[in-house]
Structure 1
Amino acid sequence: MREELVSIDIGSTYTKGVLFLRTEEGLRLVRRVITPTTQEDLSRGFGKVYTELTGLPYGEAREEEPRKGEPANTGSSGRRQGEDKASPRVRFSSSAKGGLRIAAIGLVPDLTLQIARLAAWSAGGKIVADSAYKLREDRLSEILRASPDILLFTGGTDGGNEETVLWNAKKLAASPFRGTILYAGNASVRGEVLRILEGKRVVVAPNVMPRVGEIRIEETRAAIQRIFLDTIVEGKGLQQVREFCGTDPVPTPAAVFDLVEAIGTHQEGWDRFCVIDLGGATTDVYSVGESFWGEEGVVLKGLREPWVKRTVEGDLGIRVSAAALWDTVKPYFPVLIRLVWGGSEGNVTSSSLPLEIHRYVEKVTQDTSYVPTSEREKRIDRFLVLAAVAIATLRHGGTLEETYTPTGRIFLQSGKDLRPINALIGSGGYLSLFDLGEPIRELFHLVAQGGLEAGSKGSGKIEMGSMGPGRAEAGRVEGGRGTIGESGSLEGSSHGSARIHLLPKNPSYFRDASYLFPLLGNYAKEYPEEVSRLAIETLVPESGDR
């Protein structure tokens, strides 16, 4: 068996492609090509990459692939020879529209609204606005200003709350919203909701939370991706690409999600890891692992989050969103500066450095392709990268908060516990190019202590007694479902509050140096074991012994 597989990703800035050769021995990378995305006609950049990868013309009718088991005539490069050769299989992904914009409406913030967010993120979407409880005019106005492609309308268990769901349906019916409304709420009032929304573009999926605590998002995820296909092909030239490939595009973040899930499922030892994909406009975080470990004295508040989770932060890019990132990071400025510059800047709050960073942010926002030239600018870029990584992971992970009950003290866990994560993969731009394992671990340590905030001076300790069976050293988990912290002490805020951020303790760092993850992800559904193995084999570990 020798089969050529072409994978192409059409991004907002660059169109990237690879040629793989699939044999009995597995998957092998043959060639990689990158070219600027041709925004006026996306098929032109796609065609250029396809031809450079295969040596075949783009745009002509493609012959069917060889039948399973039929040998293909290939040369030493893996490319078929002769004029009568069959075309290679082609899969492609796209984020050329800047991602699918989704607004989410739910009933309770920690329940249906959070599930709606998880469904949107896992489908490759970006949450641009949300609302809980009854939809008020100010929240509706905010949603309309955000111009979402999809309004994900959830709320109520099946047979549960009807009043709020119907209220929200009437508000949406009277609104000027012209995008697609995806209803995935209380099934008991689905018919009435559809009647109220008559005249709107409405798609229906099963309730994302049919019973309290039960998460059902796969059908909603699939519906979002179907809507994506109807939306994304409106881009110039994409319908032509779709017809040429004979397949639909996948949202780029969804391709990465599929690959991350395949790695966690098929690669031994990779059942607790994170991927951070840093871009000019957003920072995406993916995590694989149990979200709640059942430690003694810890009670889960809200949802038990899924084994594979994605979040996307639209205000944490290092070019398009650099200004928003700069505004977000200001409370953490002194500690981040010390981490990047050491003590060389003296009193950073009275130095010229904040003004320098501000001017650099203005420069890269106006010229998003700008590459730093001086050592000073390179350090500022590093500062922005570490800030985006720290805040994005902070938002992705959960927290423990101390509270008291009549039977004594307990800890409430919200969100996903990332402490057992033992590997971190940097992907995209800066994270693919540079070894940042040590500063990222130091950042996570500071965040877990509550030490990123200005003026912090160390950490408090919250004693928790036994952490349950299978105890291990902090930051390391023994066995498939061990727990965390042999000493029984957890770190709390330096300000005396008992809030603990559940971030990775001591992960090893790897780089997706060739930025193959989106391209491998295009085949993750078809060949999960093979693409996930190649993904791990092509990672670059951090330098030096740990």
Structure 2
Amino acid sequence: MKHIVSIDIGSTFTKGTLLIHKENEVLPGFKILSYRKVPTTTDHLAKGFFDILQSFCKEFNINQEDIEIYYSSSAKGGLNIVAIGIVPDLTLKIARITALSAGAKISASFSYKLSRKAIDSINTINPDIILFTGGTDGGNEEINIHNARMLEKLTIRPVVIYAGNEVISDKIQEILKDFRVIIAQNVLPEIDVMNPEDARSKIREIFLDTIIHGKGLDEISNRIGFMPDPTPFSVFEFVKSLPDSVEQIKKVIADVDLNLDPGIESITGIRSIKEYGLKNLKDNLSYDFKNFCLIDLGGATTDFYSNHKDTISDNNVIYKGLPEPIVKRTVEGDLGMRISSQAVVSTAREYIEKELFSCFKDEKEDSILDEFLAYIDKISKNPGYIVDFSGNNLKNESKENIYNKEVIFDRILASACILNAAIRHAGKYRKVYTSDKQMLVQTGKNLKKVRTIIGSGGYLSFMKDFTLTNFIDFGNVSNKNFEIDEISLLPEKIDYFRDDNYLIPIIANLSEKYPVESALLVLSNLIRV
């Protein structure tokens, strides 16, 4: 039996768990002994990290040297990447997939030949990395050479990862001699062959090399002995490993009376596996975790993950572009519950007004809209603000209506983030007409048959009465788009699970070494709502 600590340093909170690893003869598992959450000390990230670690050591009288430690960080906002490719549906698409699966955030992408305007935009964005792709091996050379010469004119000096036509990689390095250029394998060496892993690995290495020097992470690395993973990378790897782990768990417990106590002990703020009971775990395992989506709704971004192998069996559907990866991540920087709330209003104004006016039918539309916008202004300036559901933040009874409205305002904001993130993540059908019939052209990923969706992040994990089925109608969105010859390929029926207590980012750190134990702990913690 060994003690394990896993900590995730987020932009708002630093969260950690102390666990023991139980080598049960039937199925190994984790038992959580303690859970801590402290505000992230943004000026010195090491403080919150070591406060949690030392509190565990003191509470259970353990030496730090005897603990197996894992940690991740998204506190600097992750790596900021600009992606460059040639054809939008080919090299640029695989460049975006590569960057996002590595846990990065794409601030802009450019196709074909770079213009002076594009160079000005890149200077303004000031990315950490330029992911420079284009051409199959032995294919187009002219555009990449042109783009390298344009990049040479940048006034900034981000790291450049070149993952394009390998025939001219030496030429690219020569042109960009004043930059740090890292050569990776071509992300699209042949027209139908995707190869993102080497470039993905290079992005992760740069993340570790770059973010580690920010605001105290280097102190953690020096004292612990290794560098953190990007939080989205850890979650991506967990999403990728979950289906196989679930199948292993099913085989073991199918006919076993689960007296394993796998997972959560009774501690403050965390339910016990005994409270859930065997029935809850077995019920969760009866749902489809081979094909599922995970939504991580944060204060600044909304990350949307899917694990689903898309197949086309309809003869009336034609697929356009590169096939979608089985495991996919998209991140939306304009969709967030606090820091990005102003941007959400700009992005989803029509949807927000429709929901507001529907919820507050007895109030004047201009008046309720003004109240909502005032609330958005308040939370964007104070990202740590949380609605006090006890009502203790109310100075007098006349404030009760304000409190109730803020609950609804947050719900509308969350729904807008989720809906728009889902639409951007999912693919589309577009109607085309031949001489004898109508056909559908598919681009992107078809999620229509995916039923299982997990909600994570501060709001979705702790808002117990929020359910996708009550507040968001994906099917209605698809039908509405169909009227304008476009169909969003969103889930048609949903089984929604809440990541109770927001454990997934913490437990995801453990999934590479302990995939089955991590899956068992997460599954025992999911609440179907």
Fold conserved (TM > 0.5)? yes
- Opposite residue 513 of structure 1, the aligned amino acid is D
Quote the residue 1:359 is aligned against.
Answer: 374
Q: Distance in 2 between matches of 1:528 and 1:438?
A: 28
Q: Distance in 2 between matches of 1:27 and 1:500?
A: 43
Q: Distance in 2 between matches of 1:259 and 1:19?
A: 19
Quote the residue 1:102 is aligned against.
Answer: 81
Structure 1 unaligned spans of 5+: 57-78, 451-491
Quote the residue 2:275 is aligned against.
Answer: none
1:511 Cα deviation (Å)? 0.7
- Opposite residue 36 of structure 1, the aligned amino acid is P
Counterpart check, 1:540 vs 2:519: no
Aligned pairs for 1:36-435 within 5 A: 36-55=39-58, 86-268=65-247, 269-337=288-356, 341=359, 344-345=360-361, 350-372=365-387, 374-406=403-435, 408-434=437-463, 435=465
Asked if 2 retains the 8 angstrom alpha-carbon contact of 1:105 and 1:130, the reply is: yes
1:446 Cα deviation (Å)? 2.2
Asked if 2 retains the 8 angstrom alpha-carbon contact of 1:436 and 1:509, the reply is: no
Quote the residue 1:458 is aligned against.
Answer: none
Residue in structure 2 matching 1:449, options 468, 479, 490: 479
**TM-score when normalising by structure 1:** 0.83
Question: For residues 203-226 of structure 1, what are the alpha-carbon distances to aligned partners after superposition, in whole Å with 9 as ceiling and x for unaligned?
Answer: 111111111132111111111010
- Opposite residue 130 of structure 1, the aligned amino acid is S
1:438 Cα deviation (Å)? 4.6
Asked if 2 retains the 8 angstrom alpha-carbon contact of 1:441 and 1:505, the reply is: no
Structure 2 unaligned spans of 5+: 248-287, 389-402
1:236 Cα deviation (Å)? 2.4
Question: For residues 148-199 of structure 1, what are the alpha-carbon distances to aligned partners after superposition, in whole Å with 9 as ceiling and x for unaligned?
Answer: 1111000111111111011001111122231101111111111111111112
1:22 Cα deviation (Å)? 0.7
- Opposite residue 361 of structure 1, the aligned amino acid is I
SS in 2 for 1:188: helix
Asked if 2 retains the 8 angstrom alpha-carbon contact of 1:345 and 1:351, the reply is: no
SS in 2 for 1:510: strand
- Opposite residue 368 of structure 1, the aligned amino acid is P
Asked if 2 retains the 8 angstrom alpha-carbon contact of 1:386 and 1:440, the reply is: no
Moved more, 524-533 or 158-167: 524-533
Aligned pairs for 1:444-523 within 5 A: 444-450=474-480, 493=482, 496-523=483-510
- Opposite residue 521 of structure 1, the aligned amino acid is A
Q: Distance in 2 between matches of 1:365 and 1:253?
A: 23
Question: For residues 80-108 of structure 1, what are the alpha-carbon distances to aligned partners after superposition, in whole Å with 9 as ceiling and x for unaligned?
Answer: 76x7x952110110111112111100101
Asked if 2 retains the 8 angstrom alpha-carbon contact of 1:187 and 1:206, the reply is: yes
SS in 2 for 1:174: coil
SS in 2 for 1:402: strand
SS in 1 for 2:440: strand
- Opposite residue 381 of structure 2, the aligned amino acid is Q
Quote the residue 1:465 is aligned against.
Answer: none
Question: For residues 381-439 of structure 1, what are the alpha-carbon distances to aligned partners after superposition, in whole Å with 9 as ceiling and x for unaligned?
Answer: 11100000000001000000111235643211100111111111110111111243254
Quote the residue 2:13 is aligned against.
Answer: 14
SS in 2 for 1:30: strand
1:441 Cα deviation (Å)? 6.6
Asked if 1 retains the 8 angstrom alpha-carbon contact of 2:339 and 2:380, the reply is: yes
- Opposite residue 449 of structure 1, the aligned amino acid is N
Q: Distance in 1 between matches of 2:468 and 2:44?
A: 43
Quote the residue 2:37 is aligned against.
Answer: 34
Q: Which has the higher helix share?
A: 2
Q: Distance in 1 between matches of 2:502 and 2:327?
A: 21
Moved more, 158-167 or 529-538: 529-538
Q: Distance in 1 between matches of 2:36 and 2:205?
A: 29
Asked if 2 retains the 8 angstrom alpha-carbon contact of 1:292 and 1:416, the reply is: no
Q: Distance in 2 between matches of 1:295 and 1:510?
A: 30
Quote the residue 1:4 is aligned against.
Answer: 3
Asked if 2 retains the 8 angstrom alpha-carbon contact of 1:130 and 1:143, the reply is: no
1:118 Cα deviation (Å)? 0.8
* CA RMSD of superposed structures (Å): 1.8
Q: Which has the higher contact order (CA 8 A, sep 6+)?
A: 2
SS in 1 for 2:4: strand
Residues 171 and 24 of structure 1, relative CA distance in 2, 3 Å threshold: same
Q: Distance in 1 between matches of 2:74 and 2:468?
A: 31
**TM-score when normalising by structure 2:** 0.85
Q: Distance in 2 between matches of 1:449 and 1:217?
A: 35
- Opposite residue 445 of structure 1, the aligned amino acid is G
